[in-house]
Amino acid sequence: MSALDTAVREAVIAIAQQAGAAIMQVYADGFDVEHKDDLSPLTSADLAAHHVIVHGLAQLTPDLPVLSEESAQLPWDARRQWQDYWLVDPLDGTREFIKRNGEFSVNIALIRDGAPVFGVVQAPVSDVVWHAMRGDGAWRREGGREDAIITRRPPALPLRVAASRSHRDARTGELLARMGEIELVAQGSSLK
């Protein structure tokens, strides 16, 4: 895949929103929690979003492999041959989903030669979508409105630092302490 045209980007955004809708259906209906081999949690929402995304991407770009957190892990020898592939976390923030705090997301990225070239983050609770394309900028879409994300110089102090609500450990605490005066924002998933 040499270029990613607007139609493909819009289709991937729609797939992320469909996955978000599948997650919200499970959120409304209730769910059980299982644990994977690494003891991380797994719900039917993770699997529902995974199926929506994998099916949608296979229909859209049948020649590109999909590497998803919920897929059987392929050996590195096979994956290292991939020039282009989709990297997916169907439900980033499963712990936040379980806590029902709304801080979870759907993440889809196109990786080319080991680097991201296009990405989508969708917040199922609010249906806000952030998307970016290398060389084309980053955008925030909500309720039919789309705004460019513009970077700015950070204010002098305090620095605002986003840190995981569920994965903070002693090393993170030490790093935060070394930063001096900060405003800590605890948030789950890629919504940081």
- Does the annotation flag 92 for ligand binding? yes
How far, in Å, are 4, 23, 132, 144, 156 from residue 87 at the CA level? 15, 18, 15, 26, 36
**CB-CB contact of 139 with 119 (8 Å):** no
On whether the CB atoms of residues 112 and 84 are closer than 8 A, the answer is yes
Using alpha carbons only, how large is the chain's radius of gyration in Å?
A: 18
Q: How far is CA 7 from the centre of its chain?
A: 21
Reference 81, options 67, 62, 69; nearest CA is 67
Burial of 10 (0-12, 13-18, 19+ CB in 10 A): exposed
5 is in an annotated binding site: no
Amino acid in position 17 = Q
Q: Is 108 exposed, middle or buried (0-12, 13-18, 19+ CB in 10 A)?
A: buried
Whole-number Å distance between alpha carbons of 88 and 183: 31
Task: List, in sequence order, every residue forming a beta bridge with 142; answer none if it has no partner.
Answer: 145
Enumerate the known binding-site residues for Mg(2+). 69, 89, 91-92
Enumerate the known binding-site residues. 69, 89, 91-92
